[in-house]
Structure 1
Amino acid sequence: MKHLGIEVPVKNVPELDKGFIPLGKFNQAFLKDANKPLDLAVERSGGQVAVYHTRIHGTPEMAQADAYYVERVIKTMLWLYGGFKVYISGDEAVCRKMQEIYSAKGQQAFDFDYMANVYEQPFQVVFCDQVPQEKGDPKAIGRHLEGCRIGFDAGGSDRKVSAVIDGEPVFSEEVVWFPKTNSDPDYHYEGIVAALKSAAEHMPRVDAVGVSSAGVYIDNRTMNASLFLKVPKDQFDAKVKDIYIRAIRDTFGDVPYAVCNDGDVSALAGAMNLGENNVLGIAMGTSEAVGFVDPNGCITGWLNELAFVPVDASPAAMRDEWSGDIGCGVKYFSQDSVIKLAPAAGINLSPDLSPAEKLKEVQKLMDIPGSPAEAIYRSIGVYLGHSLALYHHYYGFKHVLLLGRVMSGRGGDIILDTAKAVLADEYPEVAGLISPTLPDEKSRRVGQSVAAASLPELKK
């Protein structure tokens, strides 16, 4: 495969997506002849900084490839670590190009605006002689099991809730809802309260409530979330920023609570499930929810929104409707990926079905041995094998726990087996370091809501 004049050697290609170019493979090929040092840093809240040292070619004939490579690395850093200020050292021309791309009217205007809103700071790209030093602030989180707790997991297609007594789930349920298409925040509020009350009925009391939800949460407040995509900004500020706090207090009064990004809770679920740390948790559902528990068992404070991290360098890669970018994880590790690949497998899904219903139709076909739906899961497995190697480059994780409804049933086993085969074949140096696993079937579906229940610490 060739991209921007660079030959990209790839042995394993998804059978239903022959044009897929693994971004990690492109990066490796690009760096072979790149000798000019370039340093990047991204600053987020509290003066925290993520740093990345790399190289470019720095020649006129490779200027387009240089700009593409640097932009994809910056894009990855922004959505992996989070940040409102990008520092570039080593090449002023590349910096000027990035300032053009990451601007209010540039190619990545979505990222420019999103990061500014989340961190409530103007977004900037600046040139400097030397980038700032790495600085983090990891925090211990969750694993509190004592008492009567509720764990609520807000997904884009269904909401899950668990009642947990002294670490043991005594009740769990899933309810289909449509938060991403509903503009009335009262719809969301009422759904949250209904779930909390449903779980409370199965316990003698409620000591604490933990919430796992897609989006960015700071101090338990909703800073940005696709769940509330259709809610007008004035209503978002008035009713959504504190929606979980209101729902919990209105229902149970002054009980301890914690609201976390669902990716962080998926990582916590993985760490608790495995009894290990240094875990990347990936929940494949309505989107790709990712979190990371570091080697010390802490949450890093990174954004971990790998749904918007690029994994495919193909210029024909599928476009994400929300961010407007192409080749990002959301179209490869979610129900969107299953739906995207279905026509290539010869499966026609009714346009009248919701995305969750379309996924269920494909999953039903998996009950038939030799079903054409198997090719969908094999293709996602190839995506995953290549992308885990890319993710490992940034995280250095040891364990990967794969959760979410896309991983349910036989399809999840095919995805895992295929991903392991791709890792062993193309990335043996990584395959020997990491262990991708699936939890048991029940944990795949409701593990996050149980882990969410452990988030708050009880008052002493």
Structure 2
Amino acid sequence: MKFLNVDIPVKNLPELDQGFVPLGLFFKEYSKNATKPLCIAVERSGGQVGVYETRIYGTPEMKAADDYYVDRLVKFLLWSWGGFKVSICGDDAVAETIRAAYSENGSRAFDKGFMEQVYETEFVVESLPYDQKPTAVQRAESIGRHTNGGRIGFDAGGSDRKVSAVIDGEPIYSEEVVWFPKTISNPDYHYQGILAAFHTAAAKILEKGGHVDGIGISSAGVYIDNKCMVASLFLKVGKEDFDKKVKNIYTRAAKELSNTLGYDIPVVVANDGDVSALAGAMGLGENGIMGIAMGTSEAVGYVDGDGNICGWLNELAFAPVDGQPDAMEDEWSGDIGCGVKYFSQDSVIKLAPRAGIELKGESPAEKLKEVQALMAENDPRAVKVYESIGVYLGHTLALYAMFYDIRHVQMMGRVMSGKGGDIIMDVASRVMDEEYPEVTFRPEAPDEKTRRVGQSAAAASLPEVK
């Protein structure tokens, strides 16, 4: 396969998507003969700076490849690390291309606006000489695994909310309550649901003669200093109500419970992907864990090799994985080739017609169930869908390994359930064996111990209680 003057030796392509250009292989082959040093630095909150060293060609005949490579690299780093300032160090022309892309009317205007919302500051791209590149500043934090005392763990899902009461590491009560956070615009609905869950769990702890020592919360979205910056759970809430009632929704509810009980209760809010990775780390008793949940979207979390979270976004649903020029567009960001269309129910729905499956369901969830039902009967068309996703996954896990120190990847979510999930993991492992033997991990399903830890119980371990 030849792409932008780069030869890419691909052995495995998805049967239902023969135009797929594995971005990791492109990065790898592009870099082999590039000689001009380039550094990309990304600054995020708290003065933290991620630094990525690479090389480009810097020649007229490779300009298109250089621009594409750096564009995809910056995009990946932004959605992996998060940030509001990008420094391109070592090439003014490439820096100008990136600056134009991240302008008000540029091709990455969505990304610019999203990062400005998250970090509440203007997004900037600057060009620096290579010898003036910023220094990396990283402050990873220990996350969870605290089990002393009485704790409330809350997991805010899109279709149900879960709460656990935990005393000295042992869950004494858990419940799931159906709710509809994505369709309701009044944030008081969300607040009352959260507060009710807190009170239920607190009552169970008090019944046992315990004391509520901490509240840990797992919630989809981007959270900085326990504040909700962006979250699909509050999709219908208007901006004014969001700023006034949603940004601090979890700390407000914790404060109200504190006032009711008559003492302060520490609270920690974390992204649900990171908490799922934490649950995996607690279950396995190891670190360097990436958790990937393939459901409505692709949710990713990461606990590093020291058992810490890095303050990264890990929003890999919007990080690029495919280089083909006519890859499917993500309706939200307007970009193409991003993970959400490869590792969620959208991927199943995209591939099913190509396999000859006519989907009749109204909603994406119903369409996924149709394909899963066919898979349960070993329908060869459904097998092709899951095999193709397995090829996507094998190539993409090797891409992720370029940016993350991964020892285990745990695959979760509705798309991974049943026979289809087994096929995805088997095919992904074979692709990695054949194309990326240097990558040491393979995808795995959470074991029973990890499942028993559970998302809400893992969330309960978030606050450190003295």
> Does the aligned pair in 2 maintain the 1:264–1:299 contact within 8 Å?
yes
Q: Which runs of 5+ in 2 are unaligned?
A: none
Q: Is the 8 A contact 2:376 2:418 kept in 1?
A: no
Aligned in 2, Cα 1:296/1:445: closer, same or farther, shift over 3 Å?
A: closer
How far is the alpha carbon of 1:347 from its aligned partner?
Answer: 3.2
- Aligned residue for 2:189? 187
Q: Which residue does the alignment assign to 2:435?
A: 426
Query: 1:245: which partner in 2?
Result: 251
Aligned length: 456
Three-state SS of the structure 2 residue aligned to 1:372 is helix
* 1-structure distance, mates of 2:373, 2:174: 23
Residues 262-277 of structure 1 mapped to structure 2, 5 A cutoff: 262-277=272-287
Maintained 8 Å contact 1:209/1:255: yes
In 1, the alpha carbon distance for the partners of 2:266 and 2:251 equals 10
Query: 74-83 vs 33-42, which deviates more?
Result: 33-42
Q: Which runs of 4+ in 1 moved over 6 A?
A: none
* Structure 1 residue matching 2:50: 3-state secondary structure: strand
Q: Which residue of 2 aligns with 1:69?
A: 69
- Tell me the residue number matched to 2:454: 447
Which deviates further from its counterpart, 99-108 or 59-68?
A: 59-68
Q: Kindly indicate whether the alpha-carbon contact (under 8 Å) linking 1:405 and 1:444 is maintained by their aligned counterparts in 2.
A: no
Code of the aligned partner of 2:241 = Q
Q: Partners of 1:16 and 1:415 in 2: how far apart?
A: 14
Which residue is equivalent to 2:4?
Answer: 4
Partner of 1:303: 313
Deviations 1:401-460 (A, max 9, x none): 222232233322222211111110110011xx22432113695598322211211223x4
Per-residue CA distance 1:183-225 (angstroms, 9 max, x = gap): 3323333443454455556553644321111111111110112
The 3-state SS of whatever aligns with 1:249 is helix
Cα distance in 1 between the residues matched to 2:2 and 2:392: 18
Q: Which residue of 1 aligns with 2:374?
A: 365
Superposition pairs of residues 21-420 of structure 1, within 5 angstroms: 21-129=21-129, 130-197=132-199, 199=201, 203=205, 204=207, 206-251=212-257, 253=259, 254-353=264-363, 355-370=364-379, 372-420=381-429
CA distance in 1, matches of 2:457, 2:373: 27
In 1: Cα distance, 2:50 partner to 2:308 partner: 17
Residue type of the alignment partner of 2:162: K
Bigger drift between 440-449 and 334-343 goes to 440-449
**Given the two structures, how large is their TM-score scaled by the length of structure 2?**
0.91
8 Å CA contact 1:118, 1:224 repeated in 2: yes
Deviates more, 1:33-42 or 1:92-101: 33-42
Residue 173 of structure 1, CA deviation: 4.5
Q: TM-score, normalised by structure 1?
A: 0.92
In 2, the alpha carbon distance for the partners of 1:152 and 1:452 equals 6
State the identity %.
64
**1:173–1:423 distance in 2 versus 1, CA, 3 Å:** farther
Give structure 1 stretches of 5+ with no counterpart: none
Q: Which amino acid aligns with 2:24?
A: G
Instruction: Tell me the secondary structure at the aligned position of residue 55 of structure 1.
Output: strand
Alignment match, 1:15: 15
What is the CA–CA distance in structure 2 between the aligned matches of 1:7 and 1:282, rounded to whole Å? Answer: 30
* Structure-2 change in CA distance of 1:363 and 1:200 (3 Å): farther
**Alpha-carbon distance between aligned partners in 2 of 1:109 and 1:32, rounded to the nearest angstrom:** 31
